Chain A
Amino acid sequence: MLNRQLAPDFKQVSTINFIQPSQQALDNQIPVYTIYSGEQDLVRIEFIFNNVNWNVEKPLQAIAVSAMLNNGTSKLSAKDIAEQIDFYGAFFQTEYVQDHSTVTLYTLNKHLASVLPIVKNVLADSQFPQGEIDIYIQNQKQKLQVNLQKNDILARKEFAHALFGDTAYGVDIQAKHYDELKREDLVSYFRSAYAPDNCTIVVSGKFEEASFHLLNEQFGRNWELGKAVKNKFNFSLLPRTAIYKDRPDALQSAIRIGKLAINRTHEDFPGLQILNTVLGGYFGSRLMNNIREDKGYTYGIGSGISSLQDAGYLFIATEVGAEVCADALTEIYKEIELLKNDLVEEEELTLVKNYMLGSMLGSLENVFSHADKFKNIHLFGLGYDYYENYIKKVKSITAEEIRTLAIKYFNKEDFTEVVVGKK
């Protein structure tokens, strides 16, 4: 007779294999890291540029250049570029995040030789036509208006600005910043930042010698150097701040609480990730169990640690029924205090460890995810021993160490609390 009350046997994940990249360089010294897999006949090529030349008077330069990169060169109009990329079934994406601007090409290998010259033309010769800039400004201002009606987005903006002020990490973008965009600034930023001396290439997929030559032919020559100074910021911990934005008709309030902490290069980082997982980093976390599954105050609540080049920060974020906002805040702080006062029980700790190891294994789904893991460390100047240490730490951390970390990093007096909605 089948005993359904008895759980089947299981094993903790023992080994996790990372595919490490091979390293080559183009003729102009751009480093190319390749994570190879021959299973599908496709490739992803990422051109990663540091964000540079921060100027608080022109906070949108890097963002607008990234967004408008495919809007025309001396040879091709915005429409030509899109038509050609689409005709070959390829995907050309630009992404701006706090520290980097990335241009990504996804293509089937059979079209690589056709699409690479288009990407080269864009990266070396974008012109930012005034007509396109006008459309961009108008449409971004409209998007901003919609976003400013979303409580979670407002909370995120307030929080970032409180922690990071008028830097690339915290600047509060307003409509006037769009109005102030000048073509000459975009062109000058583009020439400085999108240059071989500020570029790292990460390739994943079926990328063989012949493809490398194609890449080198396009990007290894005839591409002018830039004059970039990588952004560098310094931050210090703030005293407790509470920011409240009243939204009269709000059905829910967005809450964001957090503080400056450490980034991936700090030795406490893996331990802090474990502490974060216990607090709010997975579906079974304490915050989810208490505030969603027990009280039903919210559809979701979570916590995270974010690692930037020049800072790290902790945050807790949720949207809760407006009438239970005060109770939700009380419960959030209660959960934080519990971690400082009491030891995590063995059963919960084992669960979290097993969950985190399974989650790490599962996050290596395909060749792209292996490349993402590489970027996570490489861009912080770390090697694969980071992951070895991380896995070792997850397996070995004790309840005492977790409490010590909670006492060190969860001081309520350091937390910035943002509420947008009703309190």
Chain B
Amino acid sequence: MVDFNRFTLANGLKVLVHEDPTTPMAVLNILYDVGARDEDPEKTGFAHLFEHLMFGGSVNIPNYDEPLQRVGGENNAFTSNDITNYYITLPSENIETAFWLESDRMLSLAFSEKSLETQRNVVSEEFKQRYLNQPYGDVWLKLRPLAYKKHAYRWATIGKELSHIENATMDDVKAFFKKHYTPQNAILVVGGNVKTADVKEMAEKWFEPIPAGDKYVRNLIQEDIQTESRSETVKANVPLNAIYMAFKMPGRLNADYYAFDLLSDILSRGQSSRLYNSLLKDQKLFSDINAYISSSLDAGLFIVEGKLVEGVTIEAAEKAIWAELDRLKAEVVTNKELTKVKNKVESVLVFSEMSLLDKAMNLAYYELLGDAELLNQEAEEFLKVTAEDIKRISNETFGREKSSTLYYLTEKHA
């Protein structure tokens, strides 16, 4: 149970407070409702590049990191296809420094040319390090455009290509800031050894004077229902053949989300899971096999991926995956198997309350979903899922005509 208090400032900024007196620390987490899905198709990777620029100084404070480190704090941020999330942890007695820093960069950035130039380089190196210079590193750069034809999920947060980042201009930066980084478009969570009344006072002092700005109205082109089986073959300098299968599934707010999460657990959570035992241990077709969901806000992906044992043909490997998926469509999972994945989820939820930062991030994310209270109802939602639900969603999802398959093959067998 994560308790919280909630209020909204006059400029529309939502504020949540989680009091946890057991820690000497505090967290200030701010979620901006903007991600890679909000980008212009010709300027992809921008939400993430912008995240880097948020550390390049703000209108009244030339350096973001230094003053924070000086009071014993640390910070970081991440960008996804849906959101951009910034967080600070610091000794709770110095929490006001976090308000000062975070509110100033919501007010306005310094927009320094030097910072833009450096971060373009840094992000280009990040692109190389994580996506281009790694075996299988570019899988998502290939799989997304295969699975999505219209929706902005067809590119990864890092962007479609290096040139989009290299060509970013200061005008782009300013326009993006004005459009997305407004109080109305953000959720602030303060947690730890703090009192709601003090947080309210500081929020009113530092954040309330920021102009509300214009409300960003999202109007994304949604993906059509997929009706044909898709595939693509890539040959690369990698040691092993691999297969990546993506199936369309509903967005995060769909009532079946929890059933999908459990379905991926049945297939692939831990060493008692189906794919691990059947495909890796018994049939020895894969040296590595996984299933997971993308958990995106708009229609997402259910992924099955694996690396093949040398000598196994890609056809045999794919056929074996389909056999497991077809089994889920034909047979109801046993009560014992369903209870097992539910018990595991129960544990995960209890253990996740050990981390203050996780609690703060979760509150912000669930508030974005509509109501932070949903976080505390999750356990119940998982318990409601039935074996029939699992069978039903398997039938709705695992169709050939709904699949996008990437064959990632080694050049040495070419």
Q: Which residues of A contact B (CB under 8 A)?
A: 2, 4-5, 7-13, 17, 39-42, 70, 78-79, 81-83, 85-91, 106-108, 135, 138-139, 142-143, 145-146, 148-151, 249-252, 282-284, 292-299, 319-321, 350-352, 354-355, 357-359, 361-362, 365-368
Contact = CB atoms under 8 A, between A and B. Distances in A.
13 contacts: A8-B94, A11-B91, A41-B350, A89-B345, A89-B347, A139-B288, A142-B288, A145-B239, A282-B74, A283-B75, A299-B130, A321-B124, A365-B354
B66 A284 contact: yes
B277 interface: yes
A420 to B, nearest CB: 11
A87 B339 contact: yes
Nearest to A17: B24
Given A4-B61, A139-B280, A365-B25, A351 B66 contact: yes
Contact of A149 (B89, B117, B239): B239
A358 B281 contact: no
Nearest to B272: A82
B73 interface: yes
Interface stretch (B9-17, B96-104, B222-230, B245-253): B96-104
Nearest to B121: A296
Contacts of B353: 40
Nearest to B98: A8
Interface of B: 22-25, 59-61, 65-67, 69-75, 89-91, 93-94, 96-97, 99-100, 103-104, 107, 117-126, 128-130, 132-136, 205-206, 209, 237-240, 269-272, 277, 280-281, 284, 287-288, 307, 309-310, 336, 339-341, 343-347, 350-351, 353-356
Given A79-B272, A83-B340, A86-B270, A107 B287 contact: no
Contact of A365 (B23, B126, B128, B284): B23
B350 A40 contact: yes
Contacts of A321: 124-125, 128
B66 A138 contact: no
Contact of A250 (B23, B93, B104, B133): B133
A358 B61 contact: no
B240 A366 contact: no
Contacts of B134: 149-150
A4 B126 contact: no
Nearest to B26: A362
Contacts of A107: 347
Given A89-B343, A366-B355, A351 B70 contact: yes
A324 B6 CA distance: 50
Contact of A358 (B91, B239, B284, B346): B91
A61 B343 CA distance: 34
A78 B89 CA distance: 41
Contact of A361 (B24, B97, B125, B339): B24
Contacts of B281: 78-79, 135
Contacts of A8: 94, 96-97, 99-100
B94 A146 contact: no
B83 to A, nearest CB: 21
Given A82-B270, A107-B347, A282-B69, A252 B126 contact: no
Contacts of A42: 347, 350-351
B287 A138 contact: yes
A79 B340 CA distance: 14
Contacts of B238: 146, 149
The 7 closest A-B pairs by CB, nearest first: A358-B72, A296-B121, A89-B343, A89-B347, A145-B239, A82-B272, A82-B271
Contacts of A11: 91, 93-94
Contacts of A70: 271
A143 B206 CA distance: 51
Nearest to A70: B271
B287 A298 contact: no
A324 B60 CA distance: 34
B133 A296 contact: no
Nearest to B130: A299
A104 B123 CA distance: 38
Contacts of B123: 299
